[in-house]
Amino acid sequence: MYEDLKTLKKFIVKTQKFDGLLNRSLSNKRIFFTPKEHKYLEKFYENIYFLKTITKELNDELYQELHSVLSETNLESRMRDLTVYCKSYPTELDGILSEPMLFKNVASSLIKFIAYLKMMAKTYQEISEKEQQDELLSPTNINKQIILEHVEESMKLIKNDNSIPQDEKEKIVYIHETIIKEVKKDKTLWSKVIGLFHILGTACTLYVSTPIIYDELNIAYNGIISGYNPSDKQIEKLFDPISIPKYKLEEQNDTIININRTET
């Protein structure tokens, strides 16, 4: 992907230079063509094929946008006309501009095309950087089946725990379901899963007091974390069982405050 990005950026630079030359020729009403420009024209359709190939693999929206830009600007046919004209001058081309419309047509088409190329390069860069980051952060030796078993068991216990308020139970179950859905994907975003576990940890601390639920979630969580650092055998506890959920403590505190106020 990195090599494709370098090729794309080189093509953008060459296209901008070619566009600049066309506009100078139009301004001065003279043609200034060198072997470099001839080579650009010769390689143009090869580069268009390259663009179509990488956008098709990369992102369907980019691919469709490329076809839209080429269709709206008629760039390919206009470049073909210009190429045919310039073949009459195989080496240097320096003289009065006898076919200004050929140059004007291509120059007007290149405005939108260059804007598209810049947008594509930016998107490609972002995707490339994300893939490199994912490769660096991608955990190894994670047994998805074990993770799923413990998360599913935790969810089952949550559903059967009548001490959890129904509204909060539904939210906690939903977080479990989201984790399960992500883990089951072919390309799991483990950073997303870890973030969901932290959200789940906060929710459980507020409403869950059953120790076995915390045990199930800790085993699942550490099964992921150990994938980032297999040599680290220390068990990290994200979930700590509590004797009384925080919302119960808050209710008790409110009661104590009310009693104190009454006595006063």
**Which tens digit of pLDDT belongs to each residue from 194-235?**
888 988 888 888 888 888 999 999 999 988 888 766 555 555
Residue 263 has pLDDT above 50, yes or no: no
- How far, in Å, CA of 213 to CA of 169, rounded? 13
**Which tens digit of pLDDT belongs to each residue from 85-104?**
777 765 555 556 667 888 88
- pTM (global) more than 0.95: no
CATH number assigned to the domain covering 2-136:
1.20.120
Residue type, position 101, single letter: M
**Which tens digit of pLDDT belongs to each residue from 64-78?**
889 999 999 999 899
Which of these ranges, 14-18, 75-79, 135-139, 227-231, has the smallest mean pLDDT?
135-139
Domain edges within the chain: 2-136, 144-263
Contact 239, 217 (CB under 8 A): yes
pLDDT, average across residues 143-148: 92
Contact 79, 44 (CB under 8 A): yes
Contact 49, 110 (CB under 8 A): no
